[in-house]
Amino acid sequence: MEGINKHLQKQIVNALEVTKHNDRIILNVAFNYGGRAEILDAVRHIIQDGTAPELLTEEMLSSYL
């Protein structure tokens, strides 16, 4: 739950605890997720592995994600 303020994290954990035995309704909650940190991490690993920029492909980037 990175990126969510601590108060909201506590509220989410509390809601999970209070409703953990409920079985009639399932509520899915989605948060905005950009994936930027993962993309940056993948690019850093590609650079560390010594891959020349002109050899980088979408498939290669995907394999690092």
- Number of domains, the chain: 1
Whether 31 maps to a domain, the answer reads: yes
Task: Tell me the residue range of the domain where 27 lies.
Answer: 6-64
Residue 30 pLDDT: 83
pLDDT value at residue 3: 77
Evaluate whether residue 48 is within a structural domain. yes
pLDDT at 63: 96
Domain annotation covers residue 1? no
- Start-to-end CA distance of the chain, whole Å, equals 19
pLDDT tens digits, 18-44: 999 999 998 898 877 778 889 999 999
In sequence order, which residues have a C-beta less than 8 Å from that of residue 41 and are 6 or more positions away? 64
